[in-house]
Structure 1
C-alpha cells in the first residue's frame, strides 16, 4: 500500500532533526494531525483491521509533513494533489478553512456552515463559504477567482497556478492574523455588517498583506468612518454601466492597498478616483 501522508501545524517551530524528538512529536500530536493523502486507504485499513487474522504488527509507511502555519500547509496540500484531481483546489480550501481555523477563539465573529445554518441560524454569523472565498483570495492574491465564462476544469488549473505563483513561504502575514484583525474590527456592528458583504471581505483580504501593520493600529470606530467614506464614493458609481460586484472587489482591494493615503480622502475625492477607475 502506498504511504499515507499526514501533516501537522507546529507554530512553535520545534527542532525535529533528531529522530527521537521527531517520533515523540508525532505521537504526542497525532490527534491533531491532518490526512493530506490516503483517506480512502485509511478507511479500508480500518475495515481490514476488524477482520479475523489481521496482523497488527505489519509496518505502515507514512509520509509526515510538519508546517509552521496553515497557509504553508495548504500550499503543500495543493502541490501534492495537483494533477491527481482528488478534489478541486476550491474544495481543498473549504475543507481546511473549516478544519484548521479555530473560530471559537474569536470574540466578535461566529462562522456557520450551510448545514449548521439550515438547522439553526446564528444571528450575525459569517457563512463559512464566504470566509473560504476570502481565504482563497488571500492565497492567490486575486479578487477574481469566480468566472462563469471559464469551464470548471480550466478554472481549477488557473487557481492552482495562482496559488503556486504566490510566495507563501515568505509571507509574514498569515490568514490566522487576518481573522484576528477582522475580529477586533468587528466589535463595531457597522464594520461587521460591511465585512459580511463578501466582495468587501475579499478585497480587504487580498490587500491586507501590504498594510497589515497600519490597519492594525486603527480603532474600530475610526475604521467605520473610513469605510463610510468608501461607501459614499462607491454609491456614486453608475450601476447601469459596470458590474458592481466585480468593481466592489477590485476597488476595496485598491482602497486598502493604499489605505494610508485613501483613509484621508473625503467623499468627493474618493468619488473622483472611483469614477476614473470605472470609466
Structure 2
C-alpha cells in the first residue's frame, strides 16, 4: 500500500487519504471485506462485468475504490502519511468498502479462473476515509452513492449500520420479522431500529409513507439526509443506543420505546435535546412519558392519522422536554393539539 496524500474533510470531520494498492493486495485484504456482512449489496449479474474481467487482465485502471474506518481523529493535529499508512495497514481488516464492491468482486472472480492473464502487480487506486462518527460516515456514503441502482439509500444505511453498530454490546436484543424475541428478554424489532435510525439521520418522522412509491421514497430519504446537516450535529446514534440501553432497564420505558412510532419520534427529537434527556434518570423519564401519554389520549383520534401524529408529537415533546416536563397533562394536551 502506498499513501500519497492526506487532507481534512471538514464536513464530516474526517481524514481523507488517497493512495494505491496492487491487485494482489486487494485480493489478500479487501476482497474479504465485501463478504463479511450478513446483508450485503447484491452482486450484479456477471454478464454485466464481462468487459471489466477482460480489462482487468489487460491492466486497466478503474475509478478509485473507497474504503473507510471508524476511528478517532484530530483535525488540528493530522498525523504524517507514514504514521497513517502504518495504522491503515495494521487495521485493514476493520475497514468498510463504501464504493467498489462490484469491482472487487469482479477482480476476485477473474483471479479464480484458470488460465487468467491477470498481472497481480497492477494497481488499484484508493480513497480512504477515517471518520470518528458512524453517522457522518453514513452521510458520506449516501452522498457518494445516491441515485445508483440497485442500491438505495435505505439499503446503504441498512448495510453499514449492521456492520458498524455492535448491537450485542447492549442489554436488549434485536430480532427480525422471521425471528421471535425470547419470552424473558427485552428486544426491539430490527426494522424499528433501522427506521428510527433513518428518521434520526434525515431529521424527519414521515419517511415511512406507504402513499409514496418506493423509488421516490428512496430518493426523498437520500435528499432529506443530505439536507438535514447531520454532519454538524454533536449527537451520534451510538449515544442514543446507549441511552435506550439504560432506559430499557425500566419496564415502562421499554414498553413505550417498543412501539415503533414512539421510537421514531424519540430518536428524531433527541437530535436537539439529547443532553437534556440523558440528564434525567429513569424515574423522571417514566413520569414524563406518563404525562405525554395522558395528554395524547385526550386527542380526538378520529380527526388525525394516529401513527403519523404519534411519531410527530413524540418528537415534538422529546425535542422540547426541558420546557415541557413540568407541564401537567391538561397543559400539555393544549400544546400538543396546537401542533396538529
Give yes or no for the alignment of 1:121 onto 2:121: no
> 1:277/1:168 Cα in 2 relative to 1: closer, same or farther (>3 Å)?
closer
Provide Cα deviations, 1:135-173, integer angstroms capped at 9, x if missing partner.
111111111112222222222222221111122222111
1:60 deviates by: 2.5
Local SS of the residue matching 1:63 = strand
Contact 1:94 1:129 in 2 (8 A): no
Query: Which residue of 2 is the match for residue 260 of structure 1?
Result: 322
In the TM superposition, what are the counterparts of 1:39-58 in structure 2 within 5 Å?
Answer: 39-52=101-114, 54-58=118-122
Choose between structure 1 and 2: higher helix proportion. 1
Whole-angstrom distance in 2 between the partners of 1:6 and 1:207: 32
Match of 1:61 among 118, 125, 129: 125
Query: Which residue of 1 is the match for residue 67 of structure 2?
Result: 6
> 1:114/1:55 Cα in 2 relative to 1: closer, same or farther (>3 Å)?
farther
User: Unaligned regions of 5+ residues in structure 1, if any?
Assistant: none
Q: TM-score, normalising length from structure 1?
A: 0.91
C-alpha RMSD over aligned residues: 1.9
Contact 1:141 1:166 in 2 (8 A): yes
Which protein has the larger Cα radius of gyration, Structure 1 or Structure 2?
Answer: 2
Give yes or no for the alignment of 1:71 onto 2:132: no
Whole-angstrom distance in 2 between the partners of 1:80 and 1:148: 26
1:249 deviates by: 0.5
Contact 2:73 2:131 in 1 (8 A): no
Choose between structure 1 and 2: higher strand proportion. 2
Provide Cα deviations, 1:17-45, integer angstroms capped at 9, x if missing partner.
52212211211111111111111221221
Contact 1:6 1:65 in 2 (8 A): yes
1:11 deviates by: 2.5
Query: Which residue of 1 is the match for residue 279 of structure 2?
Result: 217
> 1:277/1:84 Cα in 2 relative to 1: closer, same or farther (>3 Å)?
closer
Query: Which residue of 1 is the match for residue 218 of structure 2?
Result: 156
> 1:276/1:62 Cα in 2 relative to 1: closer, same or farther (>3 Å)?
closer
Contact 1:186 1:220 in 2 (8 A): no
How many residue pairs match? The answer is 274
1:262 deviates by: 1.5
1:203 deviates by: 0.8
Q: TM-score, normalising length from structure 2?
A: 0.76
Contact 1:16 1:22 in 2 (8 A): no
1:49 deviates by: 2.2
Whole-angstrom distance in 2 between the partners of 1:60 and 1:82: 23
User: Unaligned regions of 5+ residues in structure 2, if any?
Assistant: 1-61
